[in-house]
Amino acid sequence: MPSRARGIRAAQTGLVVNALLVVVKITAGVLGNSYALIADGVESTLDIFSSLIVWRGLAVADRPADEKYHFGYAKAEAVASASVAIMLLIAALGISIEAVREILIPHHVPAAYTLFVLVAVIAIKETLFRTVLRVGAQLGSPVVQADAWHHRSDALTSAAAFVGISLALIGGGDRLASADDFAALLASAIIAWNGVRLLRPAIYDLMDRAPDPDVIERVRLAACGVPGVLEVEKLLARRTGVGYYVVLHVQAAPDVSLIEAHRIGHECKDEVMRAVPQVTDAFVHMEPHVEPFTKPRRC
């Protein structure tokens, strides 16, 4: 399986970039009278904490199994991913409440130069999103991909702020000044949508949901291809970090020796992990095969 070091480096890069963008956004938003830009800066502040969570989650998940955690620490990735998603939902709620308050309070039109700040932010965050998402896909890491979508949500909130500020400036005077705040409200909806979308797979992983059927079938075919395996009676799998933990109940001829059954079991495990790289570990339980009259063989 690929190392989590690349995911950690991606989180560190996002951490540095977000720290710089927070300063730029909030400063420009305060000086330029743009609440949408300030809201965008708040969202980037949460990005910093999410990158820290991702970084720590990946570091913990990379620890080997020990006497306290017999199955390892890989679930730390799902915990980190759920934490990032919940932070997005909290940010969406806070920004929407403040946006509504700003809509009800008349204020001046944002400064035109805030648009240039937003264009730069959108370009940076979209580039960061594509880079981190690619790393997450290569690693098969849900938490790295969640961090990538956090960057995309930041780019979308910046785009919404750009539209709102543009409308306020086009309207002139104070007539469309609230367009900036409506943009912040729209941004909060986008952030909430991303939060819900990221929270769902994290919960699935924490609840040990089975992987896609094609993964199960590839595991079954790999086990069936081992000489001596007559049937795969039971096949269970769950995600653990960037891979899957598999339990197989494999049937062999009832007259094979214990030594031979042990060999078949080990070969079955090795073949499954070779044929399906996403499988990080497998437990093979050997059973005697009794040919049924009504049930066709599965190998």
Q: CATH for 5-206?
A: 1.20.1510.10
The CATH number for 213-288, chosen from 1.20.120.80, 2.60.40.10, 3.30.70.1350, 3.40.50.300, is 3.30.70.1350
Read off the pLDDT of each residue in 142-156 and give the average, rounded to a whole number: 78
CA dihedral 83, 85, 91, 94 (to 10 degrees): -90
Q: In DSSP terms, which residues pair with 33 in a beta bridge? A: none
pLDDT of amino acid 225: 93
Residue 259, pLDDT above cutoff 80 = yes
C-alpha angle with apex 239: 233 to 240, nearest 5 degrees?
Answer: 120
pLDDT of amino acid 106: 65
Looking at residue 213, its amino acid is: P
pLDDT in tens, 260-286: 999 999 999 999 999 999 898 999 999
pLDDT of amino acid 138: 81
Residue pointed to by tokens 């961090």: 147
User: β-strand 243-252 against 231-240: which pairing, if any?
Assistant: antiparallel
Helix (H) or strand (E) holding 237: strand 231-240
Q: Which two tokens stand for residue 141?
A: 């890491």
pLDDT of amino acid 3: 57
Q: pLDDT higher for 1 or 245?
A: 245
Question: What is the three-class DSSP state of 286?
Answer: strand
pLDDT of amino acid 294: 47
Report residue 283: phi and psi, to 5°: -115, 125
Residue 1, pLDDT above cutoff 50 = no
Indicate if 213-288 has the same CATH topology as 5-206: no
Read off the pLDDT of each residue in 72-81 and give the average, rounded to a whole number: 85
Q: pLDDT higher for 55 or 211?
A: 211
pLDDT in tens, 155-179: 877 887 788 778 877 765 555 667 7
Q: pLDDT higher for 238 or 153?
A: 238
Interatomic CA distance for residues 299 and 287, integer angstroms:
15
294: number of Cβ within 10 Å: 4
C-alpha angle with apex 252: 251 to 258, nearest 5 degrees?
Answer: 115
pLDDT in tens, 2-26: 556 777 787 788 888 888 888 888 8
The structure's pTM equals 0.69
Q: pLDDT higher for 210 or 190?
A: 210
Give the number of residues written for the chain.
299
Q: Which residues of 237-271 are buried (b: 16+ CB within 10 A; e: fewer)?
A: bbbbbbbbbbebebbbeeebeeeebeebbebbbeb
Q: pLDDT higher for 113 or 8?
A: 113
C-beta contacts of 82-85 below 8 A and 24+ residues apart: 82/199, 82/202, 82/203, 82/206, 83/50, 83/53, 83/57, 84/50, 84/53, 84/54, 84/143, 84/146, 84/147, 84/150, 84/198, 85/146, 85/195, 85/196, 85/198, 85/199, 85/202
What are the residue boundaries of the structural domains of the chain, listed by start?
A: 5-206, 213-288
Using alpha carbons, list the distances in angstroms from residue 128 to 122, 151, 259, 268: 10, 7, 53, 41
Which residues neighbour 74 within 8 Å (Cβ) at sequence distance 6 or greater?
Answer: 61, 240, 241, 242, 243, 280
pLDDT of amino acid 47: 73
